[in-house]
Amino acid sequence: MKEEYIKAAETAVKKCLGVKPGEKFLVITDTETKEIGESLFQVGIDVGAEAILTIMRPRTRHGEEPSQPIAEMWKTVDVFIAPTKYSLSHTQAREKATEKGARGATMPGITPEMFIETLSVDYNIIREHNRRMKMALSGKKNVRVITELGTDITLNIEGREIYTDDGILHEKGTFGNLPAGEVFVAPVEGTADGTIVVDGSFAAIGLLSEPIKITVKNGFATEIEGGSEAKKLKEMLASVDKKEAYNIAELGIGTNFNAKLVGNILEDEKVYKTVHLALGDNSTIGGKTKAGIHLDGLIKKPTLIVDGEILIEKGEWKI
């Protein structure tokens, strides 16, 4: 097995997850990411964990549930990691495992290059970025995101929990992504209104050749405009055949200074000085919408205003 894979896997298993000897450690992977999964499994064995490796057929979209045997197994372990082609983050299976006390991370869309290069970041710095932004958002109500390209959307986060993803997942029931680095919240359903112009990347699409414009009314995307990539987005949402797929599900803020815009949303949504807004399911992050799909769109150089205070101005943090 490649030495660089093992080195990255050691960071994930030992430093980020803190896997201990004797712990039940589940690795969920698929046929397209199994080499990464196998390296994580091997390090789990090396640290003395009761390691289990399961390789499944790739899902067809972000947010699609894994098979029932995997979902049942997931609820019985102490710690997990899931390098897969499509995201298992916003699934009921992951949520139920976390509720049972399992701690761990998903790695949706992880590539060998990302696995090797981005897990070496100083997570203590990311944790401090997250702490500052979480404090600035906590207890607040009205959020506005604007950009020079035309984004101008308002939403309400009153009463919603502010989540942080800093890569250190040592406590029972804690969950995040690896690579890590974001602060995120589920807006109150029905409160988002305005226009979103996504100019960075979109989940399951990649880097955008031209912006995608999304018109939002009463919490739902009502119109999606742009070129071929906007058409692809509409097709993905229509395939779910649920109104809930168009829900404005998440506001996220990237905090990883080492992440780069590469066309893979796992890394893109962590890029410092960006924000992302998602469509679809938010039931696993404090919202009420179950949609079976969750798609993030990244916005560059945003201005973020919360209860009248500018937290980010054209990408630059003011806190």
Report all structural domains of the chain as residue ranges with CATH numbers, in order of start.
3-118 (3.40.1830.10), 123-317 (no CATH)
What single DSSP character describes residue 11? I
Degrees to nearest 5, angle at CA 293 with 270 and 133: 30
pLDDT of residue 295: 97
* Strand partners of residue 279: 248, 295
pTM of the model: 0.87
What is the Cα–Cα distance from 250 to 248, expressed in whole angstroms? 6
β 220-225/201-202 pair status:
unpaired
Per-residue pLDDT tens, the chain, 319 aa: give them. 689 999 999 999 999 999 999 999 999 999 999 999 999 999 999 999 999 999 999 999 999 999 999 999 999 999 999 999 999 999 999 999 999 999 999 999 999 999 998 887 888 899 999 999 999 999 999 999 999 999 999 999 999 999 999 999 999 999 999 999 999 999 999 999 999 999 999 999 999 999 999 999 999 999 999 999 999 999 999 999 999 999 999 999 999 998 999 999 999 999 999 999 999 999 999 999 999 999 999 999 999 999 999 999 999 999 9
What is the Cα–Cα distance from 129 to 255, expressed in whole angstroms? 6
What is the Cα–Cα distance from 163 to 186, expressed in whole angstroms? 9
What is the Cα–Cα distance from 304 to 319, expressed in whole angstroms? 11
What is the Cα–Cα distance from 112 to 310, expressed in whole angstroms? 38
The residue among 196, 209, 203, 170 whose CA lies nearest residue 293 is 203
Q: Could you tell me where the DSSP H helices lie in the chain?
A: 3-10, 34-46, 68-74, 92-99, 112-118, 123-137, 228-240, 265-268
β 79-84/103-108 pair status:
parallel
Q: Which residue has the tokens 């009761």?
A: 50
pLDDT of residue 118: 82
Q: How far is CA 252 from CA 18, 99, 112, 135, 266, in A?
A: 26, 22, 25, 14, 12
What is the Cα–Cα distance from 255 to 238, expressed in whole angstroms? 32
Degrees to nearest 5, angle at CA 159 with 170 and 318: 75
pLDDT of residue 1: 66
Lookup: tokens for 294: 């969750």
Q: What is the CA radius of gyration of the chain?
A: 18
* Strand partners of residue 213: 197, 225
What single DSSP character describes residue 88? -
Q: How far is CA 55 from CA 6, 12, 64, 163, in A?
A: 19, 19, 16, 29
